[in-house]
A and B are shown apart, each in its own frame.
Chain A
Amino acid sequence: MATYSLKTPIREEDIRVLRVGDILYLSGVIVTARDAAHRRIIEYLRAGKLLPVSLKGGVIYHCGPVVARRDGTWEVLSAGPTTSTRLELYESEVVEKTGVKLIIGKGGMGPKTAEACSKHGAVYAIFTGGAAVLAAQAIRRVISVEWLDLGIPEALWILEVENFGPLIVAIDTTGRNYIEEVMKKAEEKLKFFGVSLWPAVRYT
């Protein structure tokens, strides 16, 4: 487990050295995007339309912040991650087509994202779920907001951060998936308990 400081724009070679369990601190620009924003990003990409912000070498943060507007400027008060699992539907295509290098969220992502990460040189990292004020402390300012018509939580918040972390690398470019490995062990334990699984529930 090593600790790294990263700055945006992030280069692929700086991503390929990272391994699950490594700790990151990030400075530069991050872009929040949740379900509705991802849906629209995909629409734009497929239609060949230019996104309002370039994600090349960039960072997507799965987050819908609490914001306040004071004297005409936006302030982010509270900004922890949302469950990334829901974004598994979209992320591989986003990684492939935008050149995004770091995805931050919580709750874990699946095999499609992991495959895109190893193919295109990106990682998925976790920030502690619910640690929202801690996250907001790292946000220096709101650079801009796009797609506000999607509602405050779903808009693209383009934020300048300084030493945002600790982030734990949960999917690296070698195909390892930290949370999936933990869940494999949990599944073995269930078998040991003699518990058979119930019919699956679909979350993605």
Chain B
Amino acid sequence: MIEAIERAAVEAIERAVIYIPPDVKAALIKAYQEEENDVARAQLKSILDNIELAEKTMRPVCQDTGTITFYVDVGYEFPGVRYIRDSLINSVRVATQKIPLRPNSVHPFKNVNTGDNTGRYVPQIYWELVPGDSLKFTVVPKGGGSGYPTVLRMVPPGRGFDALREVVLDAVYRAGAMPCPPTIVGVGVGGGIDTAIFIAKKAATLRKIGTLNEDPELAVLEGELAKAINELGIGVMGLGGKTTVLAVHLDYSHRHPASYPVAVVFQCWASRRATAIVKPSGDFQVIQ
């Protein structure tokens, strides 16, 4: 079982860093087809050519293979529970050598790179217990460029909803060209600060483009925010044009009456993810 989990994880990392998922690719193709600004069109052409080249040569689509996050759903009855943690961590070491990945784990005070993409709290592993006997985990390698302009604001609850729109537009404006637009913007509202950041990150990275928010009012708000952001005209790589965001994904948590956290997390156009499902037999499949 140790071996099965590790192999599944290495394969999921490999798929994630090389192949852009179909929903993201479709959104980029649409942006290219609709773009009228020549400079932005040329940038989108390079992006699409690059996606194709990565698939053909089986090389990481972006040199920033990111830091790895695992979102793990463990079935109560899954027989290999005790092996999961070590197998996932080890899979990152193996993948770093095999694919290879760029080593991106640096001690914040000593500035020393561990060289294998592991370290204190790295890779990040989030656990959910779910019914069933299988193990499912999604690998998200997230680049540093889109992490840099992350914003968390504690807005006055009295201004909550209006402030939310301002915070999002302000964050996108300040991020400018840095997070490699067109981005997917994840917005987390409410909760404690950690919840706000966590749900914003999940909204940006895990939710597929084109899926509707379960809450119809939030679905409308997402559309309005995306439209307003695109009207800013920051465009591809900050060089102008129609598409600054591919999507805005919003999630919320109930909040303390005295606080109204708003988190904005960016995902660059190279939104990478792959999901592995491991059966009790050790058989596994990787999907995007």
Report which A residues bind B (CB closer than 8 A). 1, 21, 23, 36, 63-68, 77-80, 82-83, 85-86, 106-108, 126, 128-137, 151-154, 166, 168, 170, 178-179, 182-183, 185-187, 189-190, 193, 195-198, 200-201, 203
Contact = CB atoms under 8 A, between A and B. Distances in A.
Interface in B154-185: 165-167, 169-170, 173-174, 176-178, 180
Contact of B176 (A1, A65, A183): A183
Which of A83, A129, A200 is the most central at the interface, judged by chain B CB atoms within 10 Å of its CB? A129
A17 B23 CA distance: 42
Given A78-B60, A126-B237, A168-B43, 4 more contacts: A1-B38, A77-B60, A134-B49, A152-B115
Interface of B: 38-39, 42-43, 46-47, 49-50, 53-54, 57, 59-65, 100-104, 106, 111-113, 115, 143-145, 148-149, 151, 153, 165-167, 169-170, 173-174, 176-178, 180, 228, 231-235, 237-240, 268-270
A200 to B, nearest CB: 8
Nearest to A132: B63
18 contacts: A64-B63, A65-B63, A66-B101, A78-B60, A78-B102, A86-B148, A129-B268, A130-B180, A132-B59, A132-B63, A133-B61, A137-B53, A152-B103, A168-B43, A186-B233, A197-B170, A198-B167, A201-B151
A145 to B, nearest CB: 14
Given A134-B46, A198-B153, A77 B59 contact: yes
Contacts of A86: 148
A132 B62 contact: yes
Contact of A131 (B47, B149, B232): B47
A151 B63 CA distance: 15
B61 to A, nearest CB: 7
Nearest to A39: B111
A153 B96 CA distance: 13
Contact of B59 (A63, A136, A178): A136
Contacts of A23: 42
A151 B115 contact: yes
A85 B178 contact: yes
B113 A108 contact: no
Contact of B178 (A107, A134, A178, A193): A107
Contact of A179 (B65, B113, B239): B239
B129 to A, nearest CB: 35
A77 B63 CA distance: 8
Contact of A133 (B50, B104, B180): B50
Contacts of B61: 78, 130, 132-133
Contacts of A153: 102-104, 113
Nearest to A166: B42
A178 B50 CA distance: 24
Nearest to A126: B237
A197 B166 CA distance: 8
Nearest to A36: B111
Nearest to A128: B46
Nearest to B38: A1
Given A131-B47, A182-B233, A183-B234, A66 B65 contact: yes
A182 B235 contact: yes
Contacts of B62: 78, 80, 130, 132
A20 to B, nearest CB: 10
Given A68-B100, A78-B60, A83-B148, A130 B50 contact: yes
A80 B239 contact: no
A-B pairs, 10 with minimum CB distance: A151-B113, A129-B180, A131-B50, A128-B46, A186-B232, A132-B63, A78-B63, A133-B53, A179-B238, A134-B50
B178 A108 contact: yes
Nearest to A187: B173
B16 to A, nearest CB: 14
Contacts of B151: 201
A106 B269 CA distance: 14
B113 A63 contact: no
Nearest to A197: B170
Given A64-B64, A82-B64, A106 B169 contact: no
Nearest to B49: A134
Nearest to B163: A198
Contacts of B46: 128, 131, 134, 166
Given A128-B50, A133-B50, A186 B237 contact: no
